[in-house]
Structure 1
Amino acid sequence: MKRDFGEFKKFIFNKKVGVVGIGVSNIPLINFLLDLGAKVTAFDRKSKDELGDVAIDFDNKGVKLELGEGYLDNLTGFDVIFKTPSMRIDSEALIKVKEEGSYITSEMEEFVRYTKGKVYGITGSDGKTTTTTIISKILEEQGYKTWVGGNIGTPLFSQIENIKEEDRVVLELSSFQLMTMNEAIDVAICTNLAPNHLDMHKDMQEYIDAKKNIFLHQNKEDILVVNRENEITYNFEKEAKGIVREFSSKREIKDGAYYKDGVLYVEGKEVCKKDNIVIKGMHNVENYLAAFIATKDDVSIESMKKVAESFGGVEHRCEFIREIDGVKYYNDSIASSPTRTLAGLRAFDEKVIIIAGGYDKHIPFEPLAYEGYPYIKELILMGATKDKIKAVFDKLEKEKGVKVNIKMAESLEEATNISKEIAVSGDIVTLSPACASFDMYPNFMVRGNKFKEIVNNL
């Protein structure tokens, strides 16, 4: 049974609450906490000038602001702390305040604890956003009032009292959001796992352990959906508390979802043909299989089929931009890891010219070279990792005699211009960086939009 939100309202009233991070999800959270009668102090590394109108608004509402370089110095004496997802629970400031007796939580934990709607939680290294979006579309097609949140959509905690028991809630959950999650998620989906975010996590094991929290607190009637073909997620079954469902693109699973001879099935029933799915690539077949087996209790095969044959995909994911002189340009800026780039490369029927490189998340690039070379016609490298990626392709040439043509660029503009110079009619150019964007752009969306702008101006 879900907890009654009235409990939280009583608990938070008049409490001294610290909110760390004044970002997209925490701005509505701060306003909501004020409405519930909490005394709020907000902490952020940004200055008052950088926060602009947000700081003025909070000032006027009586929110105390702790800003700038030493912004966490006064994180002390609070009843409750809401942390931003990327803040590690073992950070010095949080350890200190926890020892003082503060209750440390996050917007997502409190939301899952109190929401009345049935929750679908989606995590994984690749395919999270697309699978989240597909699930929400299928539920909407079936007629449910559907709320989308977590890493995408809108911050939901401030809307919790509008969400009814018959509604459906679909959450994309990152490893950071899951690190401290200790609530039961009704339907947990893990698309796959591969090295990622090793700049934030101590090691791969910590990353995997964070992901496991999506199902470790489930009850026996809850559902865990795993990728049968991913060794790590397949192993989750041993620790599952509830009902396990599998999906596979490589083998027939009678009581799961599977792909065989060009057709997608759920429990042996045909849903749709691969060729009729609008978004291409085997990785999207897997995303659909995960979505189908996760939602089968709530939706009809017709709803699944209709979405698969009409949904055009999410922006920045193998998104077609335009064709110039017979050359097609695609924006796959979301691909911030080598495995994600590989999935994008496999979606095309021919070798592609790829623009890659960016911020260093300290994850190995060997998969991009050793598994990716058959799909790459030319490689254009940019960003902080360009030399690191080149070194791996040089190693490939030395060990296996496989040479991939590489060009180096100082900026996205230069990389795009190089691609235009070397491409001939019939070629495909894709921005699929295999890295995060933070060395050049605030996020993958800004990077993707910049690429679209450059291509549209060619």
Structure 2
Amino acid sequence: MKKDFSEFKKFVNGRKIAVVGIGISNIPLIKFLVELGAHVTAFDKKDREKLGEKADEFEKMGVKLELGESYLDNLTGFDIVFKTPSMRIDCDALVKAAREGAYITSEMEEFTKYCKAKIFAVTGSDGKTTTTTIISKLLMQQGHKVWVGGNIGTPLFAHIEEIGQDDMVVLELSSFQLMTMDTEMDVAVVTNLSPNHLDIHKDMKEYIEAKKNIFTHQTEADLLVVNRENEITYGFEKEAKGKVVEFSSKRKIKNGAYYEDGKLYVHGEYVCDAKDIVIKGMHNVENYLAAFNAVYGTVSVENMKKVAETFGGVEHRCEFIRELKGVRYYNDSIASSPTRTLAGLKAFDQKVILIAGGYDKHLSFEPLAREGYSKIKHLVLVGLTKEKIKHEFDLLKNEGINVPITMADSFEDAVTKAESIAEKGDIVTLSPACASFDMFPNFEVRGNKFKELVNSL
């Protein structure tokens, strides 16, 4: 049973509240808390100059600011602390605040506690955003009012009083958001799991345990959708409290969704042909199967078919940019892990010129080399991880496998070198297998820069 939001209003009114991180989700949160009568202090590592007009705007509203490298030193004396998603709950500053008696939470945790609408929550290592977006499109096609949030869409907590009981909410949730989540999700979807974010998580076990929170607080009335072909997600069935349905691209599933002989089915009903789905690749077939399971009984099979045959995909996910001199360029900047890059490579029916490399999340690039070499015509490497990736491909030479590699000095240089290598009929794709933080604030900025460079060739 969801809590009444009037409880939260009473809880925060007149309280001293710290909001750590002045980012996309926390900016509207800060304003909302001020409107609800809280005394807010906003903390951020950025200095005043980088915050710019936002700092002036907050101070005019009465928000205190703690900025710069030592911004967490004064995280003391607060009743409530809203943490930024990637901030570990066991970091010294939060442990100290909790010891003082502060209630530690996050924007998404509070949203899921008080949201009256049905929640479809999606997590996984790859395919989260596309699956979340597909579910939202399916629900909209059926005529529902839909709110999309979490990692994508709009920061929803500030809109919680506008969201009606009959609306539908679709959330993309990361392992960081789920680490401390203890609320019930009506429908939970886990697309797949493979090593990721090991730069922040202590180990793979902790990463998996965080992901499990998407379903561990469910009841018998709730639904869990899992990937039958992923060993980890398939293992979740034993711990589920609600109904479990599977999806598979490799076998027929009696009570679930599956792919067989080029066609997609859900609970035995034919939906569409894979060749008619606008966004290509078996990973997108799997994303659709997961989404069909999530909305079955809420969305008609006819509307599932309509969306599959019209939805053009999400920006930065195998996104076609342009064709120049017979060479096609694609932006797959979302691919911030080796497994996601492999999925992107498999979407093409020919070998590609791959631009890869970036921030080091401490993931192994062996799977990219061993499973991906047959899909790569030429590899252009850039960023902090370029030597690590090159090392894994160099090891294949002992087995007589030689993928041509070009090292780039900068992102611009990588695009220039890829263009010079490409011949008529080739495909060039940016699919980095790494996060963007060595050169860009996020994958969107990286993808937009790539599009800008390609369009200026």
Which interval holds the TM-score relative to the shorter structure? over 0.9
**Map of 1:141 onto structure 2:** 141
C-alpha displacement of 1:348: 0.4
C-alpha displacement of 1:188: 0.4
The correspondence of residues 263-412 of structure 1 with structure 2, limited to 5 A, is: 263-398=263-398, 400-412=399-411
Amino acid at match of 2:298: D
Amino acid at match of 2:328: K
C-alpha displacement of 1:74: 1.0
**Map of 2:92 onto structure 1:** 92
* Structure 2 residue 426 is matched with structure 1 residue 427: yes
Amino acid at match of 1:280: K
Give the whole-Å Cα distance in 1 for the aligned partners of 2:147 and 2:82. 22
SS at match of 2:72: coil
**Map of 1:6 onto structure 2:** 6
SS at match of 2:355: strand
| TM-score for both structures, normalised by structure 1 | 0.99
The correspondence of residues 75-114 of structure 1 with structure 2, limited to 5 A, is: 75-114=75-114
The correspondence of residues 232-271 of structure 1 with structure 2, limited to 5 A, is: 232-271=232-271
SS at match of 1:66: strand
Cα-to-partner distance string for 1:389-428 (whole Å, 9 max, x where unaligned): 0000111222x22111111101122111111212111111
Give structure 1 stretches of 5+ with no counterpart: none
Give the whole-Å Cα distance in 1 for the aligned partners of 2:23 and 2:356. 28
**Map of 1:447 onto structure 2:** 446
Give the whole-Å Cα distance in 2 for the aligned partners of 1:388 and 1:314. 30
* Structure 2 residue 54 is matched with structure 1 residue 54: yes
Range 414-423 or range 285-294, more displaced: 414-423
**Map of 1:172 onto structure 2:** 172
SS at match of 1:72: helix
Cα-to-partner distance string for 1:284-331 (whole Å, 9 max, x where unaligned): 000000000000121100111110000000011000011111111101
SS at match of 1:241: coil
Amino acid at match of 2:9: K
* Structure 2 residue 162 is matched with structure 1 residue 162: yes
C-alpha displacement of 1:363: 0.4
Report sequence identity in percent. Answer: 71
Give the whole-Å Cα distance in 2 for the aligned partners of 1:205 and 1:455. 40
Moved over 4 A (4+): none
C-alpha displacement of 1:48: 1.5
Give the whole-Å Cα distance in 2 for the aligned partners of 1:413 and 1:40. 42
C-alpha displacement of 1:2: 1.2
Give the whole-Å Cα distance in 1 for the aligned partners of 2:360 and 2:69. 24
Give the whole-Å Cα distance in 1 for the aligned partners of 2:348 and 2:222. 37
Give the whole-Å Cα distance in 2 for the aligned partners of 1:350 and 1:106. 44
Amino acid at match of 2:339: T
C-alpha displacement of 1:380: 0.7
C-alpha displacement of 1:241: 1.0
Cα-to-partner distance string for 1:145-203 (whole Å, 9 max, x where unaligned): 00000000010000000001100000000000000000001100000001111111111
C-alpha displacement of 1:133: 0.4
Give the whole-Å Cα distance in 1 for the aligned partners of 2:310 and 2:138. 11
Amino acid at match of 1:246: E
Give the whole-Å Cα distance in 2 for the aligned partners of 1:422 and 1:355. 12
C-alpha displacement of 1:442: 1.1
SS at match of 1:164: coil
| TM-score for both structures, normalised by structure 2 | 0.99
Amino acid at match of 1:65: L
SS at match of 1:94: helix
**Map of 1:64 onto structure 2:** 64
C-alpha displacement of 1:40: 0.7
**Map of 2:189 onto structure 1:** 189
SS at match of 1:454: helix
Give the whole-Å Cα distance in 1 for the aligned partners of 2:128 and 2:170. 11
Range 263-272 or range 410-419, more displaced: 410-419
Give the whole-Å Cα distance in 2 for the aligned partners of 1:177 and 1:143. 29
Give structure 2 stretches of 5+ with no counterpart: none
Give the whole-Å Cα distance in 1 for the aligned partners of 2:379 and 2:409. 14
Give the whole-Å Cα distance in 1 for the aligned partners of 2:221 and 2:135. 20
Give the whole-Å Cα distance in 2 for the aligned partners of 1:276 and 1:24. 36
Amino acid at match of 1:260: E
C-alpha displacement of 1:68: 1.1
**Map of 1:418 onto structure 2:** 417
SS at match of 1:448: helix
